[in-house]
Structure 1
Amino acid sequence: MAGQQDLEINDEITVPYWELVETFTRSSGPGGQNVNKTSSAVQLRWNVDASSVPSRIKARFRQIWKNRMTKEGDVIVEASEHRSQARNREEARKRLTSMIAKAARRKKRRIPTRPTRGSVERRIKAKKETGEKKALRGKVDPKG
């Protein structure tokens, strides 16, 4: 069957087709009568907690996409841009793939750097100049 394909994220990660639940509904938007009589919109549902994806990726997925998840741990991706059900299904699967791929990517560790001597000197000089400028804003002594 065409819809029963695993979702390949990268070389190591694959989401089996039985973890994905597809629902088809009537779409809104362009398409005229075709849209009104066919169920071309796709709602793709994937339960993150019950998935076979490695736990570190699940945890990162929950962290990144927590606002897109239901209380049951499902993430719902909808696609209704196209007139065709097949293209909407492909679009929804592509979106879910990119979401999981983003969670699978490791964040690069920031290497802390020290400010250069010149930048420290420039900063302190600028602070002194600002302080002098503000000191001039004080009350003027009429006696001198």
Structure 2
Amino acid sequence: MIRLSNSVVLQDEELDITAIRAQGAGGQHVNKTSTAIHLRFNIQQSSLPEHYKARLLAATHHLITEDGVIIIKSQSYRSQQMNKDAAISRLVTLIRELTREEKNRKSTKPTRKSVERRLDNKNKHSIVKTLRSKVRRFFE
């Protein structure tokens, strides 16, 4: 059982975990052991709440296929159990990340002091620009 939040829990049966052979260089037993983990999680068939499913299916993420399946491959460790734990933690962080609701920003008025500072800076800048212009003759 995987706990996503206080009210949302994933059952272990919802995860399709298979052990595969890891890619890359290895030692003497590299061709005999399957230490890498291939995790598949079908969003539509899961027990997630509907608003979680909708947000996950609407997201464009490289780990989510068009069919609504999250595919995670973990082969960082030499231990199958450590790779399994890493894949599950990546799944949990992905779901939490994509289902987090952003707070609405409350627009506020600028403070009086900040408005004064902005206008003072504009005034100083305009003075500098006028001083850069050509000198005109007033007494001819």
| TM-score bucket of the superposed structures, by smaller chain | 0.7 to 0.9
Query: Contact 1:22–1:43 at 8 Å: present in 2 too?
Result: yes
Three-state SS of the structure 1 residue aligned to 2:29 is helix
- CA-CA distance at 1:15 after TM superposition: 1.8
- CA-CA distance at 1:140 after TM superposition: 2.5
- CA-CA distance at 1:123 after TM superposition: 0.5
Question: Is 1:42 aligned to 2:37, yes or no?
Answer: yes
- Counterpart of 1:80? 75
Q: In 2, distance between residues paired with 1:139 and 1:67? A: 59
Q: Over aligned residue pairs, what C-alpha RMSD do you find? A: 2.2
CA deviations over 1:31-53 (Å, ceiling 9, x no partner)? 52233321110011112233221
Q: 1:62 to 1:136 in 2, by over 3 A?
A: farther
Letter of the 1:110 partner, please give it.
R
Three-state SS of the structure 1 residue aligned to 2:37 is strand
Q: In 1, distance between residues paired with 2:24 and 2:11? A: 31
TM-score normalised by the chain length of structure 1: 0.81
Partner of residue 47 from structure 2, selected from 35, 47, 52: 52
Q: Which consecutive residues of structure 1, in runs of 5 or more, have no partner in the other structure?
A: 1-5
TM-score normalised by the chain length of structure 2: 0.82
- Counterpart of 1:12? 7
Q: In 1, distance between residues paired with 2:125 and 2:103? A: 38
